[in-house]
Amino acid sequence: MILKLLAHPVTPVSHSSRFSSLAWIILPLVAWGFAGWTNSVRVQRVEYTTGLVAEPLKTDPQSPTGFAGGARELIVPEHNNDTYHWIAQTQQMLARGEWRVRHVDYDNAPFGRLVETPSPYRWWLGLIAWLDHTVSGRPLGQSVERAAIFADPLLHVLLMVGAAGFVAWQFGVFPAALFAAGLAMIFPFAAAFIPGAPDDRALSLACGIWSILPLLAGLRARLGVGEQNQSDPAGAGRRATRWFLVAGIAGGLGMWVSVVNQVPILLGIALGGVIATWAARRATSIVSTPPTKENRPKAARVVAMPPSVSNSEQTAASPLHDFTSAWWAWAVAGAATILVACLIEYYPDHLASWQLRVVHPLYGVAWLGLGAGLVQVGTWVQSGRAAWTVRRVVVFVLAIAAIAALPVVMWKLKNDGFLAASVSVSRLVKLPGSAVARSLWAWMIHEGITANVMITVLPILLMLPAGWLILSRRTGALARSAVAIALGPVLVALVIAGQYLSGWSMFDGVALVLLVAATDASARRPVVRWAWGGAVAAVLILGAIQLTPAREKEAKITLNEFELVGLIERDLARWLAKHAGPAGAMVLAPPNETTTLYYYNGLRGLGTLARENEAGIGAAIRMVSASTPEEAKELIDRRGITHLVIPSWDSYLDDYARIGMGQLEGTFLNGLHLWRVPGWLRPVPYQLPVIAGFEGQTVTIFEVVEDQDDAVALSRTAEYFIEMNQLDPAASVAQALRRFPADLGALVARAQVELARGDTVAFAKTIELLRPRLAGNGDRSLLWDRRASLAVVLARSKQTDLARIQVQRCLTDVDETKLRSLNTGALYRLQVLGKAFGLTITDPHLRDLARDLLPDDLRARL
């Protein structure tokens, strides 16, 4: 029934119809209000989560981040790793006054890595940060984190207002109302613009929409039925050419932002151009075929021309209007924009690169080939065999060669180019509980045909009326061409969305453009508008259900897994940075933690999953998959790694080990899991902050140190297990320490374990073994951290005078490195004993540092 309504002849729109169409303005206003409300709820949650379990940071306007020590505080929703990179690189860009970021040193340590990601999104984030800095007076680095909360929602607002205004200007209020509401409410497209998780995908989606809309405006300018078009066809052609040129520039900017997202849209536009040409040829044959006994219309139809085709559109259908100049303008503008983008982005040092995952002149060459191919196909379809001249055949062959050059180079260089897939392609949206799967089919196999699946794929139904409008004899040339060109990107995007879940956002974006074309082509009568508008509104309401955030009072907010992990990683980064000292740390950790340890406190690492970091990932794989500790040590020393960080909730290092050796067993990493720790690694106890929902998780940290003898290594391991409240492993280590009965440090460690386990009898016996060695000055070569432990053991055994002597020696010999080497419990107990004995660290700086290394609760108790 709806398809028949869509094919009904177009009738003039009355003043009353125009007045009633204004009622549709309410729909986008409601949708925009909904988008504003959801964003405000999400902003409040981001700010609330960021403010949890955190010591206030010291402001430092000279720091790139605006905080002392290069710290940051924003808890990024859903642990969107790309966001961390965008924020850090934008801060680097602003701090150094460089308008392009081509190198970062926080990855692939100590060498750093190349940055290929284009600059436009960093400029957008930097612009919002500069505005915030100007208004608020915050340091510019802090303003970048603030801008990260609002950058994508602001981009969404600009897209909704700008694109909807353009559609209203070119196509009328009703198509604009549906389009604007769709931008705000269709799922998953609208979820690409959430607060606090900025990345370039939002900007890429906006460019994709703007690369198609001007084409539809150009078709209207060329094939429209207005008096101006009839009286000045040459002027109409020039106006169409200008709109195609605008579309080419927008598409070129989209290529600059992301070739991965924009190339499918350009291929879809070319496909749409072919479909439009075929449809126009089909319409021409229908119009021009004289009636015969076989094809004579029924009595009810006394003319061969479909009633929806006006006199001016008869000309548009037969012969086909010449769009040669328009398509050439589109291709040349796109290729020129790509060339200018390459010069701006990579001149002069990186122009020779053949990296095709980013904008490259070869894409401009292929675009020129597309334009030439569309022109030739249009000519041949229109003129048949008469168009097959030698010149046109040569042009067509050159066009094919230009297009083929891109995949050939990708194949020869083994470069994925625009086919490269990032880690995030398997995630549907950046919302809590989002589906994660390799493809649509895998998602449906895993979850079944759920409501989420149905709501996601529901916009596919728009292709049915679009196909009907193209095939129907009642559809005019303008409507048929516009729908055909808009349908092409939808078909290509559907293929991409079937392969990668993240592609559904792009599919929704181009489907909304098709909605504009289909609405403009069919919904002229009030009854059609209400039927069509009601169907669209139903789809949008279902999308709104998916987009609606949970509304909770702050006291009752339940943190999700990614928020909990973000809080833990921020605390870990700050703790590790404090204990590493001014020289900083260089960490080997899973990719997610490598990213966040740098983001939250400037700790450099190896193996983030940035696409330019193949060298860092390879180095991390070789380290954890080493077959011997000696091999691992050589690799670790070569890179200057100072700490190994193994969180219990992230097993990615296990995957690295399997990649390197084919199995986890027998690798260096597996040895660490089994606590076969070499003497050049020292376990460092770190207590996770107490956060509901994250109980039972741990982080194992090893510090790379000078080779320790077995007694020292086991003593420190026993103390580690005590601090981590793992008394059974501590007892096992204490048993192993009995092999060193003459070692004072081993006796101290045994006493610590016995004390922790409440074994007073064994503890008293160990103290009796300790006292003679102290009387004979047997502690003269005792390591500083073992002396601090000895002081505590003596104090607990009520050997006050002996304990005082040890505390005095510790405080006299203390320095910054020794303070940072103590675990939190030992440092606290040393200061408690010093206070009890009336002893203190004489150096004010060291005294302040000793207190600063303690967490807030212990500092307050001290």
3-state secondary structure 713-771: HHHHHHHHHHHCCCHHHHHHHHHHHCCCCCCHHHHHHHHHHHHHHCCHHHHHHHHHHHH
Outline where 648-704 has alpha helix (H): 652-661, 668-673
Entry pTM: 0.91
Band (pLDDT 50/70/90 cuts) for residue 780 is: confident
- Residue 680 CB-half CA count within 13 A: 12
What angle, rounded to 10 degrees, do the helices at 140-171 and 81-96 form? 110
CA dihedral 366, 370, 372, 376 (to 10 degrees): 150
Question: Which amino acid, residue 406?
Answer: L
| Cα 236 to Cα 164, 332, 758, distances in angstroms | 23, 20, 93
728, two tokens: 């059974």
The string of pLDDT tens digits covering residues 114-129 is: 999 999 999 999 999 9
What is the phi/psi pair of residue 363, to 5°?
A: -65, -35
The string of pLDDT tens digits covering residues 436-482 is: 998 999 999 998 899 999 999 999 999 999 999 998 888 888 888 89
Residues 264 and 509 sit within 8 Å (Cβ to Cβ) = no
Mean pLDDT of the chain: 88
Q: What's the CA gap between 50 and 563, in Å, rounded? A: 9
The string of pLDDT tens digits covering residues 85-138 is: 999 999 999 999 999 999 999 999 999 999 999 999 999 999 999 999 999 999
Please give the pLDDT value at position 558: 85
Residues 372 and 391 sit within 8 Å (Cβ to Cβ) = no
Residues 368 and 332 sit within 8 Å (Cβ to Cβ) = yes
The string of pLDDT tens digits covering residues 264-289 is: 999 999 999 999 888 877 655 554 44
pLDDT, average across residues 371-400: 80
Q: What's the CA gap between 244 and 216, in Å, rounded? A: 9
Q: Per DSSP, which regions of 300-383 are E strands?
A: none
Residues 434 and 400 sit within 8 Å (Cβ to Cβ) = no
Percent of the chain with pLDDT over 90: 72
Q: What's the CA gap between 741 and 744, in Å, rounded? A: 8
Q: What's the CA gap between 454 and 433, in Å, rounded? A: 16
